[in-house]
């Protein structure tokens, strides 16, 4: 130690930091600043660990976060601590600001100390905003779009600032890399710079003691920073750390939703510390949106920065500084009220509740599929491993323009909700020219059949038996079905087993994979709708895999509702 001290002077440096006099003695009310520094150090450590596995690109971001969360040793815990740490920093920063206000530590000559602290709070909020996008999942993607849209409302320079931050007009790889660079380079550098200034000014002016004791009493109780105040700081830091561990353990780490999908209609909500601003925007719509998004927050931020110059009371007693204490209390109460109102509003919103349930299911599917491998195209490509999801996406991309489905879509072609299921076919047989079926197409020529309930059921059962060509049809059902077809003159238009007409779809292998695929590839074939066809052919529009996935999805509608 002597050898090390002779060459480095560490003991002298340690003494210089720990011999700082604390007027009035150590107090628990002084611990928030040290706890905040402790959490910031934890954020740096956990952030560096995460950066060793994270890839800041739109194709790799979600996959790398999945890898951290599910494949690396304790990755879920490190990411969870980093996520919870961002919230802990904001809470501790507000508590530290409240303690500073109560003790009057913003007053002359500590104005710059207060201002540097306010700027650090803004930087901490910036950490939360920029880090939100990095997983490139649904929640972060859409919530960050809301935030950048708000930036675009700034008069004159708004669109320019928005474009600079986004890296262009649209969200993409440049957006992610810019947010990443701010999160890991610019904001940490800015926070450390202001923290250095803050600590220097703190050491220059010393601790602001309690307002009740007189100067003589304060001098009598003055203690060095070490060991009593250090002990209190360490105790609180340990409590904060344990609390964070408990929260992370309870939440099973940080949430990872499904990969960002720019084509979805995701209802975005910001993180809890921005909910108050989101709720405020609800009261200013249209042209007044800039008031809630920019003007009011800017005025409040300016007043907070200028606080030492506005309220110059000589007394440090809170009771003699009621205007400043009341203003801070009202501002804090307003933020809490707006945050609670936003949470209550969402808790009663059926769309939000339904979306949350669907998001959780989709995230579970995405994570399950990611275990099979993430294609080079990026996170969204994991759903290529799931024919059901891929098929539904293809259906919504190509089919829903004309066909309605579950209450949405076009109305110029049959409703495909529960397509080819027994209920769907029974309804079709009873009224084939209804708007739900072929009433709005050129194929509205099929007559209505007033069949007995039992005959109708048997006919549909017989037709659906064709959907499983590998299974032998029950002879009795086959005979009954053919008899019903004969009695109702269905063979005039339809062909079955080599017998019948050719002006309506063939019934051999009806509703089977082969039948459905052939019909989608070219519905204008003679075996299907021929000259009555309006539907485009998809043989050259979809790959074999895409066709298989689309057929798989359509068949699931039949099997699910059979």
Reading the block at residue 195, the tokens are 């923290």
Angstrom CA distances, 296 to 151, 275, 288, 310, 327, stand at 14, 15, 11, 18, 15
Residue boundaries of the structural domains of the chain:
19-356, 386-561
Range picked from 9-13, 254-258, 371-375, 474-478 for highest mean pLDDT: 254-258
Helix, strand or coil, per DSSP, at residue 58: coil
H or E element that contains 408: strand 408-409
Inter-residue contact 202 to 37 (CB < 8 Å): no
Of 545, 357, 375, the C-alpha closest to 383 is 375
Q: What is the pLDDT of residues 239-254, one digit of tens each?
A: 999 999 999 999 999 9
Reading the block at residue 184, the tokens are 């890991």
Inter-residue contact 151 to 130 (CB < 8 Å): no
Please tell me whether the peptide bond between 227 and the residue prior to it is cis, using omega within 30 degrees of 0.
Answer: yes
Angstrom CA distances, 192 to 41, 128, 189, 242, 509, stand at 11, 16, 5, 25, 71
Question: 0.85 exceeded by the pTM?
Answer: no
pLDDT of residue 240: 97
Of 522, 531, 486, the C-alpha closest to 507 is 486
- Torsion, Cα 336 342 345 349, to 10 degrees, reads -150
Whole-angstrom Cα distance, residue 65 to residue 367? 11
Res. 499 pLDDT band, cuts 50 70 90? confident
Reading the block at residue 546, the tokens are 């895409």
> Does the pLDDT value for residue 228 go beyond 80?
yes
> Does the pLDDT value for residue 464 go beyond 80?
yes
Please spell the DSSP secondary structure of 492-514, one letter per residue. Answer: GT-EETTEE-SSS---TTTTSHH
Residues 503, 504, 505: CA angle, nearest 5 degrees: 135
Angstrom CA distances, 305 to 74, 126, 301, 311, 544, stand at 41, 17, 6, 12, 63
Tokens 């408990």 sit at which residue?
A: 246
The greatest distance separating any two alpha carbons of the chain, rounded to the nearest whole angstrom, comes to 113
Helix, strand or coil, per DSSP, at residue 212: coil
β strands within 287-386, DSSP E: none
Q: What is the pLDDT of residues 141-189, one digit of tens each?
A: 998 888 888 888 888 888 888 888 888 878 889 999 999 999 999 999 9
Please tell me whether the peptide bond between 379 and the residue prior to it is cis, using omega within 30 degrees of 0.
Answer: no
pLDDT of residue 193: 95
Average of per-residue pLDDT values in the chain: 89
β strands within 392-505, DSSP E: 404-405, 408-409, 495-496, 499-500
Provide the CB-side half-sphere exposure for 242 (13 A, CA). 6
Angstrom CA distances, 312 to 112, 306, 438, stand at 14, 11, 79
Whole-angstrom Cα distance, residue 460 to residue 465? 8
CATH architecture of the region 19-356: Up-down Bundle (1.20)
> Does the pLDDT value for residue 561 go beyond 60?
no
**pLDDT mean over 271-298:** 88
Whole-angstrom Cα distance, residue 497 to residue 491? 10
Q: How far apart are the first and last CA of the chain?
A: 81
Beta partners for 317? Answer: none
**pLDDT mean over 422-442:** 89
> Does the pLDDT value for residue 273 go beyond 70?
yes
**pLDDT mean over 10-28:** 76
């Amino acid at each position: 130690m002597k050898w090390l001290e002779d060459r480095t002077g560490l003991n002298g440096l340690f003494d210089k930091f720990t011999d700082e006099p604390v007027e009035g003695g150590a107090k628990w009310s002084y611990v928030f600043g040290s706890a905040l520094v402790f959490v910031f150090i934890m954020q740096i450590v956990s952030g560096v660990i995460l950066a060793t596995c994270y890839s800041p690109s739109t194709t790799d971001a979600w996959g790398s976060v999945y890898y951290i969360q599910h494949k690396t040793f304790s990755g879920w815990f490190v990411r969870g601590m980093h996520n919870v740490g961002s919230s802990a920093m904001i809470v501790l920063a507000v508590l530290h600001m409240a303690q500073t206000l109560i003790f009057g530590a913003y007053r002359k000559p500590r104005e710059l100390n207060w201002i540097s602290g306010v700027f650090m709070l803004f930087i901490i909020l910036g950490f939360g905003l920029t880090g939100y996008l990095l997983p490139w999942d649904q929640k972060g993607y859409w919530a960050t779009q809301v935030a950048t849209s708000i930036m675009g409302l700034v008069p004159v320079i708004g669109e320019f600032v928005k474009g600079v931050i986004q890296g262009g007009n649209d969200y993409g790889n440049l957006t992610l890399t810019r947010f990443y660079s701010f999160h890991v380079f610019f904001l940490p550098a800015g926070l450390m710079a202001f923290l250095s200034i803050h600590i220097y000014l703190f050491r220059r002016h010393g601790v602001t003691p309690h307002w009740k004791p007189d100067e003589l009493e304060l001098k009598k109780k003055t203690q060095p920073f070490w060991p009593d105040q250090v002990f209190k700081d360490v105790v609180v830091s340990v409590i904060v750390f344990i609390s964070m561990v408990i929260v992370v353990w309870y939440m099973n780490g940080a949430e990872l939703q499904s990969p960002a999908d720019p084509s979805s209609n995701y209802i975005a909500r910001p993180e809890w510390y921005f909910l108050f601003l989101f709720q405020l925007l609800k009261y200013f719509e249209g042209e007044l949106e800039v008031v809630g998004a920019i003007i009011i927050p800017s005025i409040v931020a300016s007043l907070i920065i200028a606080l030492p110059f506005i309220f110059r009371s000589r007394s440090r007693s809170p009771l003699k500084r009621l205007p400043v204490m009341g203003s801070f209390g009202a501002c804090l109460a307003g933020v809490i009220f707006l945050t609670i109102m936003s949470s209550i509003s969402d808790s009663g919103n059926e769309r939000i509740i339904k979306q949350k349930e669907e998001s959780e299911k989709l995230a579970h599917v995405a994570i399950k599929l990611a275990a099979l491998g993430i294609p080079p195209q990026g996170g969204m490509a994991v759903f290529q491993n799931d024919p059901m999801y891929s098929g539904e996406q293809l259906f919504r991309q190509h089919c829903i323009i004309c066909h309605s489905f579950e209450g949405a879509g076009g109305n110029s072609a049959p409703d495909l909700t529960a397509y080819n299921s027994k209920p769907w076919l029974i309804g079709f047989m009873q009224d084939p020219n209804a708007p739900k079926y072929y009433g709005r197409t050129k194929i509205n020529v099929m007559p209505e059949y007033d069949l007995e309930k039992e005959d109708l059921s048997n006919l549909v059962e017989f037709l659906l038996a064709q959907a499983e060509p590998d299974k032998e049809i029950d002879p009795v059902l086959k005979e009954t079905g053919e008899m019903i077809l004969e009695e109702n003159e269905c063979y005039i238009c339809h062909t079955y087993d080599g017998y019948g007409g050719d002006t309506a779809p063939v019934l051999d292998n009806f509703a089977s994979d082969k039948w459905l695929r052939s019909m989608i590839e070219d519905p204008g074939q003679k075996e299907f709708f021929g000259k009555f066809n309006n539907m485009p052919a998809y043989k050259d529009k979809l790959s074999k895999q895409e066709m298989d996935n689309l057929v798989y999805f359509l068949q699931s509608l039949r099997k699910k509702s059979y």
